[in-house]
Amino acid sequence: MSRKYIGVFDSGLGGLTTVSEIIRQLPDENIVFIGDTANMPYGSKTKEQIISFTLNNIHTLLEHDLKAVVIACNTSDSNARNVAEKEFDLPIFGVISPAARKAAEITVCKKIGVIATELTVKSERYEKLIKEHDSDIEVYQMACPKLVPLVESGLFLSDKNAMIRTLKDYIDPLYEKGIDTLILGCTHYDILMDLTSEIYPDLKLVSSSRPVVFDLKEYLEKNDLREKEKEAVREYYTTSDPEEFAKIAQLLIKDIEIKQRVFR
């Protein structure tokens, strides 16, 4: 039987936080990943651009034999998932719905904050899905356009105090509304999880990178699609400079090897 892969993509490093969770929960699965860093940040582009990047990513992933796709990008999930589902006859998993579900389950005071990219906030997808779980929950959103560039450039590692100031600028207004739960609604923000929890020890933080893997695992098990061979193959591609991308990527995934892949 030919090798089947789980295809994963994001605009960049954020998607690797989802990949690391797939490796943790599903260590035998073959993975092909694209970080579309040439078009990063997605969050400040137009919806039409996000649709085009999303379709390009999936077309390129399909050069491998895929059994599922994970959109490890909130911006793409909120703006292009429905188009992708029409275009491709493949199970497509997005990060937003599992994170919204988890936050709705754990909030006690029924006030949830969401930090995300501009386009994700504009889509109001989190608010809609949280309210489908419980219409009494209040949702407060904040677009954080500075965070993705700070993560991708590695600046978040070199100036902790500046990073804390930036996070507080974005999160304090939500905190002041009395939220008890905060969704990190961009997969890049998962990399800032520890720092965010240092600043706000009393907030319950919900990753948008990881809960999707629970749904993926359940789907593979129900459909008897779990990989039976050991020796998983993992391939990683970036649409810009692999050496640049590897600098931070190797902090997230051990022994990662990144190749360049330019869209046709």
Confirm whether 73 is a catalytic residue.
yes
Cβ neighbours of residue 23 closer than 8 Å, sequence gap 6 or more:
31, 234, 253
Greatest pairwise CA separation for the chain in angstroms: 56
Determine which one of 16, 50, 186, 220 is catalytic. 186
Report the C-alpha gap between 192 and 162 in whole angstroms: 13
State the nearest-atom distance from the C-beta of 42 to ligand DGL, in Å.
Answer: 4
Are 145 and 116 within 8 A, CB to CB?
Answer: no
Determine which one of 31, 68, 72, 73 is catalytic. 73
Closer of 93 and 227 to ligand DGL (Cβ): 93
Report the C-alpha gap between 42 and 76 in whole angstroms: 8
Confirm whether 144 is a catalytic residue.
no
State the nearest-atom distance from the C-beta of 136 to ligand DGL, in Å.
Answer: 27
Closer of 32 and 95 to ligand DGL (Cβ): 95
Burial class for 156, CB neighbours closer than 10 Å (0-12, 13-18, 19+): buried
SS3 content of the chain, % helix, strand, coil (to 5): 50, 20, 30
Binding stretches for ligand DGL (CB under 6 A)? 10-11, 14, 40-43, 73-75, 117, 120, 148, 186-188
State the nearest-atom distance from the C-beta of 187 to ligand DGL, in Å.
Answer: 4
Are 134 and 106 within 8 A, CB to CB?
Answer: no
State the nearest-atom distance from the C-beta of 28 to ligand DGL, in Å.
Answer: 26
State the nearest-atom distance from the C-beta of 249 to ligand DGL, in Å.
Answer: 14
Q: What letter would DSSP give residue 44?
A: G
Closer of 78 and 107 to ligand DGL (Cβ): 78
User: Would you give the distance in Å from CA 70 to the centre of its chain?
Assistant: 9
Closer of 121 and 227 to ligand DGL (Cβ): 121
Closer of 120 and 141 to ligand DGL (Cβ): 120
> Would you please indicate which residues are annotated as catalytic (active-site) residues?
73, 186
